[in-house]
């Protein structure tokens, strides 16, 4: 069985000095147009209670280009500027749907430097990509081939804080949905932790690589060196790039490991059950914040989410208040207390449990019951006792009840 999905293929490229200057100018214009449109929409609502949509901001952009002060906007591709307005419209749509906060202005130093091109803003011919306002194609390092016969519908060019250039090609790809392996036909429960990144209901433990800890000493030296540099000096720019490269190396290793891990889980199992962990509340615990951030549980869940959709798998997210560590997976008895120092315990039925493996088995059983009963897969948002779950309650659970810590 096959399925056609949209996939983005990201590659590194090396622009010529002229291309780098053109892209830097485009990034600046995209940021300026986004901020001006955001200011116009905010002022229209604040002063006149008037909602301004994409069409109105597009008309404003046309007027801006005709002014003497903003005539330089005509020097870059108009496609990227229009895409910036569409991105702003999506941001407001998410805000009104209560999926995100109110849009904020883009910063020259902190915001992501990127520009998006649709089909009218680039030329794709014989495997070579040429952007608008450029005469030479980009020098792309094809680390992996595009799907056979694929033609990009959207191209996004970006530059990270370490100075590296990337191009992302959005294409249609045909994915083979192979049947799950026999060993994982019944599904697998996944318990996230810090010592072991994941513990599976099969008893397998996946070690936490702790990528940030490996480079912690080098990162500390680079940051101390950066702190000694004078503000605005060329040496400070060099020191900042050194720090950024170390962060980029940590991020790349973490992302690569998570991609391999999630792809393996999705290909081997038809049903994957995970726990709904509130990472944003957990990182308020200063003793565990660095370790939790390095584990990247939220990124792991995001990858499992879209890869399960690609390969036709079932991803079930169970309630975060499930007492998975204290519940016996054999007889169903619930232990009264389970301190973090207890890594194994004996139930009244005589079964000796490993804390993490038992939690993973309970998570799997809960997820399979949800599928069997035809219930929804969304986790409950309220506490069973109070009807509400406050941030304080979730923080207490993060420090005292999350399995695998």
Neighbours of 58 (CB within 10 A): 15
Strands (E), 96-221: 113-118, 122-125, 128-131, 140-141, 154-159, 165-176, 188-192, 196-200, 205-207
Catalytic-role residue among 22, 116, 356, 366 = 356
Catalytic-role residue among 22, 191, 294, 366 = 191
Which long-range contacts link 82-85 to residues 24+ away (Cβ below 8 Å)?
82/58, 83/30, 83/115, 83/116, 83/117, 83/118, 84/30, 84/31, 84/33, 84/34, 84/37, 84/116, 85/33, 85/34, 85/37, 85/54, 85/57, 85/58, 85/61
Q: DSSP secondary structure string, 2-31? A: EEEEEEEEEEEE---HHHHHHHHHHHHHHH
Task: Check: CB of residue 38 under 8 Å from CB of residue 85.
Answer: no
Instruction: Return all residues near 123 (Cβ < 8 A) that are at least 6 apart.
Output: 129, 130
Catalytic-role residue among 22, 116, 212, 275 = 275
Half-sphere exposure of residue 347: CA atoms within 13 angstroms, side-chain side: 18
Tokens 């810590």, located at residue: 405
- If we measure between CA atoms, which residue out of 183, 211, 195, 210 comes closest to residue 357? 195
275 is catalytic: yes
148 is catalytic: no
356 is catalytic: yes
Instruction: Return all residues near 142 (Cβ < 8 A) that are at least 6 apart.
Output: 11
Both structure tokens of 234: 């060329």
Length of the chain: 405
Distance CA 332, CA 188 (A): 19
Distance CA 313, CA 113 (A): 35
Query: How large is the greatest C-alpha to C-alpha distance in the chain, in angstroms?
Result: 83
Distance CA 270, CA 307 (A): 12
Which residues does the annotation mark as catalytic? 191, 275, 356
């Amino acid at each position: 069985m096959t399925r056609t999905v949209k996939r983005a293929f990201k590659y590194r490229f090396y622009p010529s000095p002229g291309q780098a200057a053109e892209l830097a100018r485009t990034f600046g214009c995209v940021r300026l147009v986004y901020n001006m449109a955001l200011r116009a929409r905010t002022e229209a609502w604040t002063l006149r209670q008037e909602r301004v949509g994409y069409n109105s901001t597009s008309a404003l952009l046309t007027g801006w280009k005709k002014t003497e002060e903003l005539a330089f906007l005509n020097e870059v591709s108009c496609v990227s500027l229009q895409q910036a307005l569409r991105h702003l419209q999506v941001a407001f749509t998410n805000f009104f749907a209560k999926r995100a906060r109110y849009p904020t202005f883009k910063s020259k130093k902190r915001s992501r430097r990127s520009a998006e091109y649709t089909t009218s803003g680039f030329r794709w011919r014989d495997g070579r990509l040429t952007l608008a306002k450029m005469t030479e194609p980009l020098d792309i390092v094809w680390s992996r081939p595009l799907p056979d016969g694929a033609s990009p519908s959207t191209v996004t060019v970006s530059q990270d804080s370490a100075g590296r250039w990337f191009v992302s090609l959005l294409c249609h790809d045909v994915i083979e949905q192979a049947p799950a392996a026999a060993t994982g036909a019944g599904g697998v429960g996944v318990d996230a932790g810090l010592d072991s990144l994941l513990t599976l209901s099969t008893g397998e433990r996946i070690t936490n690589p702790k990528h940030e800890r490996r480079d912690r000493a080098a990162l500390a030296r680079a940051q101390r060196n950066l702190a000694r540099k004078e503000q605005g000096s060329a040496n400070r720019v060099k020191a900042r790039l050194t720090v950024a490269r170390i962060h980029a190396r940590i991020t790349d290793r973490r992302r690569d490991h998570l991609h391999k891990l999630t792809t393996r889980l999705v290909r081997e199992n038809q049903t994957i059950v995970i726990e709904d962990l509130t990472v944003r509340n957990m990182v308020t615990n200063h003793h565990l914040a660095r370790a939790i951030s390095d584990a990247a549980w939220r990124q792991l869940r995001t990858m499992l989410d879209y890869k399960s959709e690609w390969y036709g798998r079932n991803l079930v997210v169970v309630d975060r208040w499930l007492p998975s560590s204290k519940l016996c997976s054999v007889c169903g008895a619930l232990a009264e207390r389970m301190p973090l120092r207890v890594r194994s315990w004996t139930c009244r039925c005589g079964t000796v449990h490993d804390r993490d493996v038992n939690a993973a088995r309970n998570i799997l059983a809960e997820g399979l019951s949800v599928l069997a009963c035809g219930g929804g897969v969304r986790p409950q948002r309220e506490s069973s006792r109070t009807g509400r779950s406050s941030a304080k309650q979730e923080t207490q659970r993060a420090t005292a009840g999350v399995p695998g810590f």
